[in-house]
Chains A and B, each alone.
Chain A
Amino acid sequence: MGAGAHPLYRHDESAVHRTPAEVKIVCLLVFVLAVVATPREMFWPFAIYAAIIVATWRLARIPLRWVLPRMLIEAPFLVLAVLLPFAEGGQRIEVAGLQLSVTGLWAAWGIVIKGTLGVAAALTLAATTSATELPAALSRLAVPAVVTSVLVLMIRYIDLLAAEVSRMRMARIARGDSPRALHQARAIATGIGALFLRSYERGERVYAAMLSRGFDGKAPDLAVIGAPPRAAASQWVVAMLPAAVAVAVSVAAWVTL
């Protein structure tokens, strides 16, 4: 595992992995906007979007059994969608003995399909882009240095923080605390306070160390050091294809509506 591997990253050397991150970010953004802008009272545009994503997965060698369980992250958001056909008013149809609202059904369909496509597309970016590529990509997309610095610090210290949490947990269990999460609620609550203090103190030490190396409030653009080269024009053209197709589909959907 190299630097910047995160739980949603799937290491490989595919063409999608090699595509510069800044292109993938823009492609994802445009793709998701196109999906969201599509009128929900139709099916064929969404079938094409899904096909684009599945094709990208094939290209990135991401197996379905790897990506599908990770898509469960959207499950909580679907609860609302399930309620809509019952809650909405207007014309009703009977399905399996249930009186369902037609507008509610369309609304639920819209949420489910757009949400699922969005999560699937975002997971594709996450699975093929390591965390260390992100700051350089964002700084090339003209995101301010303050924002990329915050991101850089977060990537660096999140593991350290997680390790600290697990050490504190081990120390509690070693002193006879119940290993069950619910029983630990009280200890966890006090532990968070201690963790905050430790992180705060670390922040001060990190800042002192930064000052010592000449930091004066202006973050130098470190993201570009050791970063892969900028995307070439040809890479932009190729990698933006899925987004371009999605935009075309979205426009076509509105025209044929």
Chain B
Amino acid sequence: MYPDGHVALDGIDLEIAAGERVAVLGPNGAGKTTLMLHLNGVLTATTGSIQISGIPLDRKSLHDIRRRVGLVFQDPDDQLFVPTVAQDVAFGPANFGLRGEELAARVANALAVVSLTGDAERSPTHLSAGQRRRAALATVLACQPDILVLDEPSANLDPVARRELAETLAGLDATMLIVTHDLPYAAQLCDRAVIMDGGVIVADGAITDILSDSELLAAHRLELPWGFSVQGR
């Protein structure tokens, strides 16, 4: 609930199994990003509870849960806040207590996963949008989260950068929540989809079923881009 009384999320009941890849779909202002910020306790629900890997989210478990749940924000410039990519990737693991050699190895590993090893010492300002997005992903991967939550990962990317990011994501085995209204991207990466609208979950099912139900999509300001249709995979 916002200070002005506006309720962003209103009774969300969602269970996600380990290893699942779930697309969170919905129009602008549906509460998708708000839900994401609840998953690691940046925002706290007025009522209700969140459990990650069986651990209830409370003040004591907060630090542990923030390591387990990695959030990749929509604007990489919000995520990358120090002058070099390597320092930024080190920020998370350093907060979780890693130092020295171990930290350096973790940074090198995360950068290798997103193919940015050669750009470690560059400033995020000088990276392309696609590189920045992958750098933002690396900063979260370096914390080795069990659950990866991505907010609009394909936004502002050119087609090649979009595909490269999809390939990187497809190669990860973390549980994944992808918040998006890029439906083909969701179809490419996820097995299950939920639709949010007005702060509640209005549909939950296999992604092919959801995306082929054009009436359901239309009711919530969603539609496949022109020329697209979804077949079973």
Contacts and interface: CB of A to CB of B under 8 A. Distances in A.
Interface of A: 1-4, 131-132, 135, 152-153, 155-157, 159-160, 202, 205-206, 208-216, 220-223, 225-226
A135 B81 CA distance: 14
Contacts of B139: 213
Contact of A214 (B77, B83, B92, B122): B92
A64 B192 CA distance: 66
Contacts of B91: 210, 213, 215, 220, 222
Interface in B75-109: 75, 77-84, 86-88, 90-92, 94-96, 103-104, 107
Contacts of B94: 220-222
Contacts of B96: 214
Contacts, number: 109
B123 interface: yes
B83 A206 contact: no
Contact of A210 (B40, B70, B81, B122): B81
A225 B78 contact: no
Contact of A225 (B42, B66, B86): B86
B63 interface: yes
B146 to A, nearest CB: 14
A135 B94 CA distance: 17
Tell me which of A131, A135, A152, A222 has the highest count of chain B C-beta atoms within 10 A of its own C-beta: A222
B90 A132 contact: no
B143 A3 contact: no
A215 B86 CA distance: 17
A208 B84 CA distance: 20
A222 B82 contact: yes
7 contacts: A3-B125, A135-B83, A210-B91, A213-B140, A214-B96, A225-B103, A226-B120
Contact of A211 (B66, B82, B84, B103): B66
B107 to A, nearest CB: 7
A109 to B, nearest CB: 41
B81 A155 contact: no
A152 B90 CA distance: 14
A4 B83 CA distance: 7
A220 B95 contact: yes
Contact of A156 (B67, B82, B104): B82
10 nearest CB pairs, A to B? A214-B95, A3-B123, A220-B94, A213-B92, A205-B78, A212-B71, A222-B87, A226-B86, A209-B79, A132-B83
